[in-house]
Amino acid sequence: MASMDPHEGFAVGSYSKPLYPGLEDDSIVAVSSGDVKPRILIMGLRRSGKSSIQKVVFHKMSPNETLFLESTAKISKDDVSNNSFINFQIWDIPGQIDLFEPTYDLGMILSGTGALIFVVDAQDDYMEALTCLHRIVSKAYSVNPHIRFEIFIHKVDGLSDDHKIETQRDISQRANEELHESGLNDLHLSFYLTSIYDHSIFEAFSKVVQKLIPQLSTLENLLSIFVQNSGVEKTFLFDITSKIYVATDGSPVDMQSYELCCEMIDVMMDMTCIYGDESESTSEQDSTCIIRLNNSSILYLREITRFLVLVCILRDEAFTKRGIINYNILCLQNAIHSVFDVRRTAKLNGQLPIEGPSSLKQLSTSAHA
């Protein structure tokens, strides 16, 4: 990272062009907002890392602190409602609990579940975990075939790159073979290599959450149109508190870009904590942060709603058309507000409809370019 640069007063040129003409009248409302509150179950054997994942991603616990976490004794339910659409419950099912016991209403638990994350400890012998995985997914599928099955091959920080790939291949092959033998050919498992010691756990969780957002394809389309018209190379829409990206444009995600964007958010949050003026409050969504990298790239962050930020990666030359980019961001912002009906509710109430930790409010106070 080379410098932070407000970079004011750029000329507007023809490289980029305005998008979504006529959007000002809210004509792009594509889907209704709806109250989306799916349940995500995190399951796995004892000490596989379930509570650590939840604490690191949603409670800002540092990975080293998880070493002192005690084994969870009962099901813990965590409400993640930090904005209008990342709004779900996570149930941490301890490894020592057997949901098949009659004390638990497994049918009820599974019928209201959107995604089941099964955590496999890659540093341990995973045969027992695979048996347990098979038992739970086959039962879950019979109760609710709409559940997404997400397998986190976890703690891969201790594995070499070759070993990671080999472990993923072996686990997916064994798990799928067992399903095949049971005649569950339509049951799809998704596999992710994860660790709380890097960004892989955030990326994996992002993908899990994205699948539960009904408006995802609309968001992706909007971001792709924005990128095409703004000379931007890559863009992510982040939930600021969890660093989950709720959508990105159509180009492939490379881990390095994602990590850079996460680090930018960390820098913003740290600066805000140190220098932010908490007495100042604003409902305007106009926080901005620009970081110029030493490879002629620029990271450009703009607040979209109180809990969502847009982070763009672009070349130096493209940033000379910042006026157009800003205009397009404004259009994008309007479109996103329309998609989630945030602004209309806000207008009705005379205020922003979402309450919660005021991370972006703080952000606004200190990070204007």
Ligand X SMILES: Nc1nc2c(ncn2[C@@H]2O[C@H](COP(=O)(O)OP(=O)(O)OP(=O)(O)O)[C@@H](O)[C@H]2O)c(=O)[nH]1
Taking CB under 6 A as the binding criterion, the range among 78-86, 130-138, 140-148, 190-198 that sits at the site for ligand X is 190-198
DSSP state of 283: -
Under the binding rule (CB under 6 A), the answer on residue 152 touching ligand X is no
User: Which residues are within 8 A (CB) of 165 and not within 5 positions of it... i.e. 6 or more apart?
Assistant: none
Please report whether residue 127 would count as binding ligand X according to CB under 6 A.
no
Question: Residue 69 interacts with ligand X (CB under 6 A)?
Answer: yes
Residue 346 lies near ligand X (rule: CB under 6 A):
no
The residue from 39, 134, 148, 154 that contacts ligand X (CB under 6 A) is 154
Q: Does residue 76 touch ligand X according to CB under 6 A?
A: no
Q: Which is nearer to ligand X, 39 or 199 (CB)?
A: 199
State yes or no: residue 94 binds ligand X (CB under 6 A): yes
CA–CA separation, 118 vs 85, rounded Å? 23
Residue 158 binds ligand X, judged by CB under 6 A: yes
Q: Check binding of 195 to ligand X (CB under 6 A).
A: yes
Task: List CB contacts of 253: < 8 A, sequence separation 6 or more.
Answer: 203, 234
- Residue 198 binding ligand X, by CB under 6 A: no
| Cα–Cα distance measured from residue 52 to residue 54, given in angstroms and rounded to the nearest whole number | 5
Residue from 8, 9, 67, 252 in contact with ligand X (CB under 6 A): 67
Q: Using CB under 6 A, which of 7, 17, 37, 47 touches ligand X?
A: 47
When asked if residue 18 is in the footprint of ligand X (CB under 6 A), the reply is no
Q: d(Cα 108, Cα 78) in Å, to the nearest integer? A: 18
- Out of 32, 71, 142, 217, point to the residue binding ligand X (CB under 6 A): 71
Query: CA–CA separation, 181 vs 23, rounded Å?
Result: 53
Hey, is 333 helix, strand or coil? Answer: helix
Q: In this chain, which stretch among 67-75, 79-87, 106-114, 315-323 interacts with ligand X, using CB under 6 A?
A: 67-75
Taking CB under 6 A as the rule, does residue 51 contact ligand X? yes
Dihedral, 183, 213, 289, 24 alpha carbons, nearest 10: 140
β 39-44/113-121 pair status: parallel
Give the torsion sign (CA, 193, 209, 207, 288).
negative
- Residue 295, Cβ density class (10 Å: 0-12 exposed, 13-18 middle, ≥19 buried): exposed
As a three-state string, the secondary structure of 172-187 is HHHHHHHHHHCCCCCC
Q: Interface with ligand X by CB under 6 A: which range of 43-51, 224-232, 255-263, 269-277?
A: 43-51
Stretch that binds ligand X, among 42-50, 179-187, 214-222, 273-281 (CB under 6 A): 42-50
Q: Does 59 bind ligand X (CB under 6 A)?
A: no
Q: Which is nearer to ligand X, 193 or 318 (CB)?
A: 193
Choose, by CB under 6 A, the member of 19, 20, 41, 44 that binds ligand X: 44
Q: Does 243 bind ligand X (CB under 6 A)?
A: no
**How deeply is 30 buried, as exposed, middle or buried, from its count of CB atoms within 10 A (0-12, 13-18, 19+)?**
middle
Whose Cβ is closer to ligand X: residue 117's or residue 335's?
Answer: 117
Q: Which residue number, 52 or 257, has a Cβ lying nearer to ligand X?
A: 52
Q: First vs last Cα of the chain: how many Å apart?
A: 17
Q: Which residue ranges make up the site for ligand X (CB under 6 A)? A: 44, 46-52, 66-67, 69, 71-72, 94-95, 154-155, 157-158, 195-197
